[in-house]
Amino acid sequence: MQAALGRGFLVPRSGTEILASVATLACKSVNKQLKERTLGIVGFLIGGCLPTISFFYGIVIRMYFRDHDPPHFHAAYGEHEALVSIQGAVILNGKLPARTARLVKDWAMARQAQLRDNGQRARAGEPLERIAGLDAD
């Protein structure tokens, strides 16, 4: 299901999107508090979050703040999860069903610049931008 735009915010239409939105808001709150307290790496270790940057066809795309190299994102579908490189959209760890892996790769290859920008924001501890899913095209 696709999220609707309401008053400048993404309004979730499914239970999974609602949970993803709540988790993203919690992460933003934690990261804001950590920035205000200037806890640096200790704060990150205590409050590292995985904000949702995209949701399409039941696939949830997330990205950690200040994560390890190589630049990557996390894709989850049902009980399956994979760590996927931004460059080339190669699965680095984990496993996704074949169709899901193809959709994730198609999505990532079409949005390389946006993913790289979000990767830079994440490394800097800045808020991440939502990226349109394949179902928005």
Question: What region does 96 belong to: left with phi over 0, alpha with psi -120 to 50, or beta?
Answer: beta
Q: Under the phi-then-psi rule, with left for phi > 0, alpha for psi from -120 to 50, and beta for the rest, what region is 40?
A: left
Per-residue pLDDT tens listing for the chain (137 residues): 344 444 444 444 555 445 445 555 555 554 444 333 333 333 333 335 678 999 999 999 999 887 888 999 999 999 999 999 999 999 999 999 999 999 999 999 999 999 999 999 988 888 999 999 998 85
Measure Cα distances from 7 to 4, 11, 12, 127 in Å.
10, 9, 13, 19
Residue of 116, 59, 68 lying closest to 93 (CA atoms): 68
Question: In this predicted model, what pLDDT tens digit does every residue of 12-46 receive, in sequence order?
Answer: 455 544 544 555 555 555 444 433 333 333 333 33
Rounded-to-integer distance, Cα 135 and Cα 137, Å: 5
- pTM value > 0.75: no
